[in-house]
Structure 1
């Protein structure tokens, strides 16, 4: 795989299943190099039979399809001419689409009422005079902002306190739809869902007095007109998404407890609470070995017998069913692969999921009751003829005897190959069984890639994640990473004399840490979008203020790579995005300045206009340029 081959990847997004289970609609996303952007179209495929998928819309940006429960209509979000996405509706089988909204900042998360009469959606509401609400008044001419809470900016979004996200409902059947705002106040609200009788809504929001200054996010319910607002949780949880159970008596949601130390290293689980508020919430899954994907579009589905959820485990993302009675979950889709999105029929007679692996970017599979799993798409055909290097599993033993799980992705042909120790971000995330474009591009360029999940990563149980909390995974994680590297180097095809260390975000932090403390092991380092000094990070990063919940301020200096910058002597490449709010540019500027003063060979590459997600969602031209920068540096230094 070469950098330009990214445009050949076709990835089906979270599918929508028709009420009768006969058809699937999904958004197909891909890179358009000519337009230097991304395209997304709606496609459909029968869930039974042998007919292949067909295109429903041309895009260029159609996402989040949702079937009406009566099966007649399909709601979705569409952005036209570079504008904000609006809510559209079209006949379920295809045809002319009609726009239902004209919001200033766009909409997301459409969800139908069970009686098919209404659609709820989420939209940000700007303060008067901001964000283009006054013609001719651009951002540079707006009035000053008054900041009163610690949380006020977010990477990829910018300032948000003056444009809170609210819940709306709209009648899609009238000639001139008029959306109605349901939620009120200066609070961000999550995706809303309807109760089975179409009379109530449920959503998550931080509406308490200290919202924006602590980690609490509660589950709320209200009547469909916004009245009778009730909280179903009362603190102690950070909730992310919610659904009513099919009988309407309970709501299920994804959350993690935030009452203990280091909540960033704690995993999300599935919870249940009575929808009338008569009792407190209870956790359905075992927190010791569960990590629900909180950033998935819809990581859970409430069905008759329990809650279907996507769970990380040892590099895989499996699909499990957690029974409502709290008994042991059972596996619905497993194996050495990852589920990217799914939809389930109410009684689980039909289950559809997007599934990928180390050599598959993602296909839709269908699992009907009593039948084996069946693949219904073949978008991977666009990559045929390109060698995709498989992930070779390895397990190392850390100095204290702890097992460390990882992989090697190696080039074709005989070695010895130069080696890249690649460290993931997070830190509480995982590398896993998926087609990782970076590992593939580096392997195709002649480098063996070593990657794994040291302590602090998700997917290996609560104890594995919390083990790195005492120092935010700096000194405690280094032995795991080096042990994994040593295990990989037992293969004679890998050149122990030519090793680079590299990573982004938390991986950038650990790259700088290893370069300072174990620099003799490496020829060069590539640190991307990292955190290098916790003192300024806590004040300038979008979620930086949360670091005080993870790590006592008295320990910030000792855990900051910048403290030890004078020890970094190997050539170092620093890559950062100009508009990164998760790890602000000043982090890279401080590291670069320190290395220059120390006389270390260092170069600093800044990508204009990009945020923290450059390598995943940045302009395609910038993503390719980033690969060029990295490969040129490795060719020169390694």
Structure 2
């Protein structure tokens, strides 16, 4: 059998954004691929039939996505950047009974949460600065003339750059002529909208003051006829998401941030007569949605939640598993499907269920699940047949404080009994994400190149409850111990792991932890720190989330808690570092900005330590998952070359 190659990265297909048509027979989804020659991604909309289990390509624009099926099932709206000359994103209308797609409108601020009010009118969100005409598309000033005038925070956004005070606004639009009409009853920065089944009311989630209350989002109920809005709940709750049932019941996902960002959200039912909220099954204490890691996704799911016949269906991260559960308005919970891999998105129609799902050895495909019978409907990644992969072996370790920690090891693909192998410890981001059933090309590449791969879900991870995830004010303490105790267990239990040839890497929080590890142990012979944090003080003031995330995670603002910021900053341990370390960072990563790598690299080189930095222009925090294809290849190659030079000697 052939081994996986690093450059096989270009062959993966990602699928998602599933929508079942009214009547439950047909469905649409988005397929995304890489074009190595053009160094870009291509996405198109596909049409499927659950009865004959066939799928076919519906659009060929190469930049098409976010399909929205009309109420009568006869047409779809979708967004696209297929017109390379357009200075924005287009909204297109495609009749399914024949004919070409038609451009309705192009907006510089794009289209999101597009919903059909009726066959002639749609509702949507777009971003622009207050007072700016969203329909006026002007040429951007060249860099040598551009000036940013900044008077509020946040002023940058990862993936978008300098925000220039752009916020989400709500509009109605006629499909025939593209005439837009603003709806101003709800202000702030509108994040999401969900139209009711009778198409007369809209649940609106907005952040009303992103500078003073950046993590608190309010829920409003908007009447489309009178264009008046009523707030639901008060300042004690922040809302993430809403879903209507087919009989106009409203469910929402909310949090009280009782333990800051580690707090798991919970479901509330909204009584639309009294506007009171009832909390449902909060004792579940699990994350609603999918928190598992993978680097072969690329298609945003339509949602991880839907209400059908009075029951809310939702994906839940439970440990390293993804479960699909249902919940009624009394809070009764039922498991519908439990994945040994990772369910990324779903849709439900009656007894028919559609899933996009992956495993640790198979990337995303679409499946139907009807009365317990599961069928695979797509085989876009069939090129992998005949390729030998490494299947993770799970284990559980009791940490020194008695807590159970999940871990995994992947043997090298060319594994031979009695032989010693170098190993790489991988640390996930977040910290509130998790490893589990997701397919990760990076891990399989390392295994194919002769490495054992070790990974775990230490304290701070999602899926194990709020208390498990709560490491606020204690970064580098219990989480560090969990990782090192996992490494110790692996060395003792798996005699093929060479403890003299250990490497460590991770991104975001995993990059922070890589930085922390090299300053607190000499157990590793090489390290690769990616999109990391090295100083909480600089992170606070230079990134899109720093001013509220750093305060939450470290125990307050740095001017009130300087000792805590310094104590939890890996930069302060630079003199202790003996491990050769490679820093990989994107120049437009405004989530963990490039000074985080630069200052640690500079300190280490100043102290005479072994360090190297690889910087990627025109990339952001999503380099490993959504960066330009050639940059993703070069990133993986840099990681392999660094580890090879220190662990294969």
Q: After TM superposition, is the score higher than 0.5?
A: yes
Bigger shift: residues 35-44 or 276-285: 276-285
How far apart are the structure 2 equivalents of 1:610 and 1:24?
34
Aligned to 1:282: 279
Contact 2:95 2:101 in 1 (8 A): yes
TM-aligned CA deviation for residue 141 of structure 1: 3.1
Q: Does 1:325 align with 2:330?
A: yes
In the superposition, relative to structure 1, how do residues 226 and 533 fare at CA in structure 2: closer, same or farther (>3 Å)? farther
What SS does the aligned partner of 2:261 have? helix
Name structure 1 gaps, 5 residues minimum: none
Of 13, 21, 35, the residue aligned with 1:10 is: 13
Kindly report which structure 2 residues correspond to 1:236-635, keeping only aligned pairs within 5 A, or say none. Answer: 236-248=236-248, 250-258=249-257, 260-261=258-259, 263-276=260-273, 278-280=275-277, 282-293=279-290, 297-327=302-332, 329-345=333-349, 348-368=350-370, 370-412=371-413, 413-414=415-416, 415-466=419-470, 468-471=471-474, 473-489=475-491, 490-519=493-522, 521-546=523-548, 547-552=550-555, 553=558, 554=561, 555-635=564-644
- Shift of the 402–87 alpha-carbon distance from structure 1 to 2, 3 Å rule, reads same
Aligned pairs for 1:71-90 (under 5 A) are 71-82=73-84, 83=86, 84-90=88-94
Shift of 1:85: 2.6
Q: Is the 8 A contact 2:542 2:593 kept in 1?
A: yes
Q: State the Cα RMSD in Å.
A: 2.2
The question of whether the paired residues in 2 share the 8 Å contact of 1:533 and 1:587 is answered with yes
1:169-197 deviations in Å (ceiling 9; x for gaps): 2233x3x2313222478732123221222
CA deviation digits over 1:215-234, x for unaligned, max 9? Answer: 21011121226721211121
* Aligned-pair CA distance for 1:331: 1.5
Q: Which residue of 1 aligns with 2:151?
A: 147
- What displacement does 1:290 show? 4.0
> CA–CA distance in 2 between the matches of 1:603 and 1:226?
61
TM-score, with length taken from structure 2: 0.91
Which structure has the highest strand share of the two?
2
List, as ranges, runs of 4+ consecutive aligned residues in structure 1 with deviation greater than 6 Å: 129-132
Distance 1:407 1:518 in 2: 22
When residues 303 and 404 of structure 1 are mapped into structure 2, their CA distance, relative to the original with a 3 A threshold, is same
Identify which of 108, 115, 136 aligns with 2:112. Answer: 108
Q: C-alpha distance in 1, partners of 2:268/2:151?
A: 34
Residues 49-91 of structure 1: CA deviation (Å, up to 9, x unaligned)? 3x42111111211111121121111111111244533211112
Which whole-Å CA distance do the structure 2 matches of 1:420 and 1:169 have between them?
A: 52
How far off is 1:198 after superposition? 1.2
Moved more, 455-464 or 270-279: 270-279
The corresponding residue for 2:126 is 123
* TM-score normalised according to structure 1 size: 0.93
- CA displacement at 1:488 relative to structure 2: 2.1
Contact 1:285 1:322 in 2 (8 A): no
Aligned to 1:13, the other structure's residue is in SS state: strand
- Judge conservation of contact 2:185–2:227 (CA < 8 Å) in 1: no
Contact 1:364 1:375 in 2 (8 A): yes
Residues of 2 paired with 1:435 and 1:136: CA distance? Answer: 40
Cα distance, 1:188–1:226 mapped onto 2, change above 3 Å: farther
Superimposed CA distance per residue, residues 449-500 of structure 1 (whole angstroms, 9 cap, x where no aligned partner): 101101110011222112x2241x3111111101111222221221111001
CA gap 1:493/1:97 in 2 versus in 1, 3 angstroms? same
Cα distance in structure 1, aligned partners of 2:143 and 2:305: 38
The change in CA–CA distance for 1:500 and 1:371 in structure 2 (over 3 A counts) is closer
Cα distance in 2 between the residues matched to 1:573 and 1:226:
59
Report the CA distance between 1:132 and its aligned residue.
Answer: 8.3
Partner of 1:64: 66
Q: Which position in structure 2 is the counterpart of 1:179?
A: 180
- 2:220 is matched with 220
Q: Say which SS state the counterpart of residue 518 (structure 1) adopts.
A: coil
Question: What residue in structure 1 maps to residue 297 of structure 2?
Answer: none
Cα pair distance change 1:236/1:611, threshold 3 Å: same
Deviations along 1:132-179, whole A, 9 cap, x unmatched? 84446346534542323x32321001233522111222233x3x2313
The whole-number CA distance in structure 1 between the counterparts of 2:630 and 2:27 is: 33
- Whole-angstrom distance in 2 between the partners of 1:121 and 1:145: 28
